[in-house]
Amino acid sequence: MDNWSPQQAWKQNPVLVVQVPNPCSSLPKIWLEKLFAGNDADEFSSILNRKSDPKILITTCRFNSTRGPAFISELLSVIPNAHYYKRGTYDLKKIVEYAKIKDFTSLIVVHTNRREPDALLIIGLPDGPTAHFKLSKLVLHKDVKNHGNPTSHIPELVLNNFTTRLGHRIGRMIQSLFPQAPNFRGRRVVTFHNQRDFIFFRHHRYIFESKESKQGDTKGNKDKDAKGEKSSQGKVVARLQVHVI
């Protein structure tokens, strides 16, 4: 065994040496179809197929932090049809039962460490599933330089790189928090980008601007402007206005 090598094993019996694929790598399309075949009938299918609308209950742990209320305000501005209920002394089990009676589709619990929010617990109702997310490098929109103000339009939802079976499941859970009829006139975008087991969140509003092409300072151009002729326009440019990071 001391002199064992993959090359020797291959010469002795090629069948024994098998290259194991990376589970985090992209799978062939036929594999993905088999892995995700049952997702059309999962707990989120009624919302994603627009048969019902999401209704979200947001609460906190029993000990809220100083930045907790501000973060909850951010969540309420990002997620349409979300409602905040003060936790008080109620057990989580009682809150889940109440949410079921009131036809909430998901429950979000904001955990704090007495200083700032550090985790999110998302519970799908009525029968699960449940996911726990750790929060890191939280920046509220008021702390972003030159930030914009969010509107009440239903946002467009962008999910990137949720390609594995678990990622696909998490992606559908996130999708179920948002209505599936975005208002494109609002130009509001909510992005979740999955990379190396981190989910990066961004909240933007894209703005279309038309920039006029530069005119020469020649006398002829000045005469044209004096006559009221319109200057030529360049291409329409879209820029992003940051709301929340």
| CATH code: domain of residue 99 | 3.40.50.10480
> What is the pLDDT at residue 146?
74
Q: Is residue 120 part of a domain?
A: yes
Q: Is residue 232 part of a domain?
A: no
Q: Is residue 20 part of a domain?
A: no
Low-confidence ranges of the chain (pLDDT < 50): 1, 6, 9-10, 13-25, 213-219, 222, 224-232, 244-245
Give me the domain span that covers residue 150.
Answer: 29-207
Number of domains in the chain: 1
Element (H, E) at 235: strand 233-244
> What is the pLDDT at residue 27?
58
Q: Is residue 112 part of a domain?
A: yes
Give CA–CA dist 203/153, Å, rounded.
13
> What is the pLDDT at residue 121?
97
Residue 110's nearest CA partner among 120, 96, 123, 124 is 120
Element (H, E) at 12: helix 6-12
Give CA–CA dist 240/245, Å, rounded.
13
Q: Is residue 55 part of a domain?
A: yes
Strand stretches in 71-227, DSSP E: 82-84, 106-112, 117-124, 130-134, 156-160, 188-195, 198-212
> What is the pLDDT at residue 1?
47
Q: Is residue 50 part of a domain?
A: yes
Q: Is residue 21 part of a domain?
A: no
Residues 6+ apart with CB under 8 A from 124: 43, 44, 105, 106, 130, 173, 176
Give CA–CA dist 89/77, Å, rounded.
26
Q: Is residue 227 part of a domain?
A: no
